[in-house]
A and B are shown apart, each in its own frame.
Chain A
Amino acid sequence: MNTDQLAFNCPPSHASPKDLGEFFVPSMRGPTKSAFKSIMVNPILTMINMAGGMPNPNTFPILQLQARVKTPGATSSQPEDTLTIEKKRRNKTTECLDELLQYSGGCGLESYCSFLYNHTQRTHSPQYADWGVIASCGNTDAIDKALSLFCQPGDSVLVERWSFPGTLSKLAIARLKPVPVALDEEGMVPADLDRVCSEWGGATPLRVLYVIPTGQNPTGTTMSLARRKSIYAVAQKHNLVIIEDDPYYFLQLPKFTSNQGYDTVTDRTCGQQQALVSSLLSLDTDGRVIRLDSFSKILAPNLRCGWVTAPQYILDKIQILSETTTLQPSGLSQGLVSKLLNDTWGMDGWDAHICELRAIYTARRNHFVRMAEKHLSGLVEYTVPLAGMFMWMRVNFGAASADPTAMTRLLYKMNECGIMMAPGMSFNSTATLPSDHYLRAAFALVDIDMFEPALLRLAHAISTISGQSASVNDEAATNDASCSSSKYEIRAYVANNTDKVQLIAPVGFNVAVANGRG
């Protein structure tokens, strides 16, 4: 995108980024240019454009788009504002429907990118010149394009020991080998990253590090500032490109203390607003971080839009990749998001919305951990998450620990007992390492009142498989030895709370499953 058009200018004191273009795959090196762009000479108002295979906007039958939107921080949860996008241009800030619905280049809607550029500057203050943002269709697609830029079949990619299955799938299919790095309660261990890189003897050099620094999927860990600095230093030492996959960045949560009461979220004004831990981007003096941001967890997942921040010369390549594939995200998604952020909420409203989300996730995290403390003591180990929606639990099978079938039997038992979580094996970055005894719980979707029954059932299932007795707090479990009657309890709860139950199995998933498409 043309940064000259933006209100904000990069301070002149920032140095240019390092040129990592030598790491591009051969086909992306050199001056690759969009064929079409190369013939679009300086636009002249009187030029009659017979070039683009573009439909005339008179053929677009959509005449107006409106959406009811919530006012962030409002006491009522009902939508309060209406945003309207007209067919023809009415204001200077945001595009009209005719523009949203038309073909445009591969970098994204101007007002969308402009807001995100300013937001990124404000949030991360990148430390080098010539950075930019480009629209993405979500982080999964952004990961795909970033990896395509730097990796060829046979290459290896540094990943967290446990990682996001979407990326792990992509690596496997693209014949890229994941090189796992150890994790602790703060995420990736710098000393292990250094060791792995220093000892590397593979056929091709290690060039790319893929990391989820905040609310890591699946372990839920969040790197402290000190940890991020250490990781960055190791990346500098070994000249790595860092793909910072950060969809939970804005869902950072305050520390948990056991004596916090379970309460509905009353304070949504972020009176105790905690500063966000700095991103890797904000530490990036070299221009080696490709940061992936997504609206999936902070607006809605199926808008299918986000943004990538990186040195402009890298974004230019990603734009080329987009022009031969996705082109850009849906104009409706970009347009609606842009209108919302630029006109309806503004930067202040966006901040208030994030505050509200953090409060919601904090309440959920707190109650979930409290229930885990109450019912799972001795049965699981976990690190309390400081961001996002995941809690990663290591199951203590006691006497059954050495039994290789323990985990599988637990999963079946859990299903019988009416509780499901994601098994650790889904997140194992490499099959040569044991998948161990992990479960990932997501606490974002299920109704808060179901946390206790859910973890009660988990406790019961683990106790049964491990032959351990449950903790003394687990009265219901010791009173009720049979899973079928525990399901009865849940059914009774369900019958009395039908309005909450629909949140357990989202409408539509059943349809997909019934059609065998899940």
Chain B
Amino acid sequence: MTSTKPHSKDLSVYFTESAKQRDNSPLKSLMKYMSADPALVSLGAGLPHPSTFPLGALTTLVAQPGHMLSECAHPPATSIQVNQPTSKTEGLERFLQYGNGRGVPSYSAFARTHTASVHNPPYADWDVVPSVGNTDAFVKALMLFCDRGDTLVVDEWTYPAILGTVGPMGIRVASVRMDAEGAVPEDLDRVCGENRVRVAYMIPTAQNPTGATMSLERKRAVYAVAQKHDLVLIEDDPYYYLQFGAYEEPAEGVDRLRGLPGIKGLIPSLLSLDTDGRVIRLDSFSKILAPGLRCGWVTAPRYIADKIQFHNETTVQQPSGLSQALVSKLLNEDWGHSGWESHLLRTQREYAVRRDVFVDLCREKLKGLAEFTVPQAGMFLWFRIVLPPQLEQRQGVMDEVFARMIEKHVLLVPGRMFSAKGVDGPYMRAAFSYASVEDLGVAVDRLREALLTFQQEK
């Protein structure tokens, strides 16, 4: 079956000078000559001999997909071993040896197959490249197109690491107004018209910090604006699989978890709409396996993925071989794609329960104290703190609110940490991912106590 998909638009004309210069490492290029001819003796590469690696077989006990510790102390588990090469994965020695910025092949192979299956990118020449997580992937994507003096389009409330990166790089931000679904397309259009911009950064699912999730229509509208202004879209999507749908009030006999999307029911990504090849999609294993693995992948037109590979080669090289080995073995062999889907469904359930418990409590106990839009995905709730009119405008009042919460032993993140415009506002971000279900109840009680003190102030 021949592909009738179009080729990506060539956006390399917008590359920074640094990006244009990124190329194959000359030493790694020598690998080309290490052809299948075993008669070629290569003393070219500075690789240590694998017999000096002191690690033998690596064995992990992994919960069977669909089971989590929150159900029972000892979920059913299987033991998987990384040692000799198999038909689907390399041997441990290969995972532990130097490679190039494209990582160990079986890891990328999974990412490629999974991306094709879930997103089916509508252009022909897309590819994947490993990352050490979305924060680093973002910086590498940004540096392809933005230099000192350039401007990045971001949501008016956004992930603080972004703001912490662009500042020192001398890159300005232009912020886009948000509504309950995220960036407002008309305002995106306005911002692009009023500023010289090339790149927009979005977190379309369970946006950090507002928890907003874009519908498919919203994504189409955003994509249309991106096409109009010839933008590159950085789709930072670490919560993509943590979709669980609209909130329902608890009702007798109703299973609120009956409609979890799995993979088939997920809202399509910006990548899946990307006929032009202008989306650089960032996927991470942080929220769907574990943050400490420090691995994910980037999907982009191949010429862009290549540049990120070269950038990897002058920085991190590739993700830890141990992380790649574990992920590859698990997803290519042990769980496979169907096990992965079971795991993602179970993860959705976990977060759906948390969302429901937390929202039930907040609706019950924080009436008149805090407002919020219920998140349909992810782990964040964005509170708009309701203060009496005489307090609303008081200088530094949100610092007082934060301090009062600390006094009551509940920790949220003040909204100003997330402001692209450097403004304060009556917002607090709560994460319902970590605390136990019991603690969620205690937390809401403490929040209520703290906020009541402001209502009672004269």
Residues of A near any B CB (own CB < 8 A): 25, 27-28, 34-36, 39-41, 44, 46-70, 72, 77-79, 87, 100-104, 137-138, 140-141, 144, 153, 165-166, 169-170, 172-175, 217, 296-297, 299-305, 320, 323-333, 336, 340, 353, 357, 360, 389-390, 415, 418-422, 425-426, 440-446, 450, 453-454, 457, 487, 490-491, 494, 501, 503-515, 517-518
Q: In the complex, which residues of chain B have a beta carbon less than 8 angstroms from the beta carbon of A442?
A: 43-47
- Cβ 8 A contact of A327, one of B99, B133, B429: B133
Task: Report 19 cross-chain contacts, Cβ distance below 8 Å, ordered by A residue.
Answer: A48-B411, A55-B291, A63-B60, A63-B62, A63-B75, A67-B56, A69-B55, A79-B54, A141-B315, A175-B18, A302-B322, A304-B319, A324-B139, A325-B136, A326-B294, A327-B133, A327-B135, A445-B47, A503-B49
The answer to whether A79 touches B56 (Cβ under 8 A) is yes
Give CA–CA (A482, B108) in the complex, Å.
43
Closest to B291 in A: A103
- Cβ 8 A contact of A487, one of B39, B293, B323: B39
Give CA–CA (A297, B326) in the complex, Å.
22
Q: Which 5 A-B pairs have the closest CB atoms?
A: A331-B292, A79-B56, A302-B321, A330-B320, A68-B56
Q: In the complex, which residues of chain B have a beta carbon less than 8 angstroms from the beta carbon of A27?
A: 167-170
- Cβ 8 A contact of B343, one of A44, A61, A420, A443: A61
The answer to whether A507 touches B93 (Cβ under 8 A) is yes
Query: For residues 7 through 51 of chain B, which have their beta carbon under 8 Å from a beta carbon of chain A?
Result: 17-18, 21-22, 24-51
Distance (whole angstroms) from the CB of A346 to the closest CB of chain B: 14
Q: Give per-residue flags for B398-438: 1 if the beta carbon is below 8 A from chain A beta carbons, else 0.
A: 00001000100111111001000000000001111111100
Known: A48-B435, A518-B28. A173 touches B287 (CB 8 A): no
Q: In the complex, which residues of chain A have a beta carbon less than 8 angstroms from the beta carbon of B90?
A: 507-508
**Which of A144, A217, A505 has its CB near the most chain B CB atoms (within 10 A)?**
A505
Q: In the complex, which residues of chain B have a beta carbon less than 8 angstroms from the beta carbon of A174?
A: 18
Quick check: is B69 within 8 A (CB to CB) of the other chain?
A: yes
Known: A304-B316, A304-B320, A517-B100. A505 touches B34 (CB 8 A): yes
Q: In the complex, which residues of chain B have a beta carbon less than 8 angstroms from the beta carbon of A332?
A: 292-293, 320, 322-323, 326
Q: In the complex, which residues of chain A have a beta carbon less than 8 angstroms from the beta carbon of B35?
A: 510, 513
Quick check: is B380 within 8 A (CB to CB) of the other chain?
A: yes
Residues of B near any A CB (own CB < 8 A): 17-18, 21-22, 24-63, 65, 67-70, 75, 77, 85, 90-91, 93-100, 102, 104-105, 132-133, 135-136, 139, 148, 160-161, 163-165, 167-170, 208, 286-287, 289-295, 309, 313-324, 326, 343, 347, 350, 379-380, 402, 406, 409-414, 417, 429-436, 439, 442-443, 446
The answer to whether B46 touches A389 (Cβ under 8 A) is yes
Known: A172-B21, A301-B97. A56 touches B70 (CB 8 A): yes
Give CA–CA (A414, B10) in the complex, Å.
39
Q: Add 4 more A-B contacts to A506-B93, A508-B104 (CB < 8 A).
A: A35-B164, A67-B59, A217-B46, A305-B320
- Cβ 8 A contact of A66, one of B40, B59, B67, B161: B59
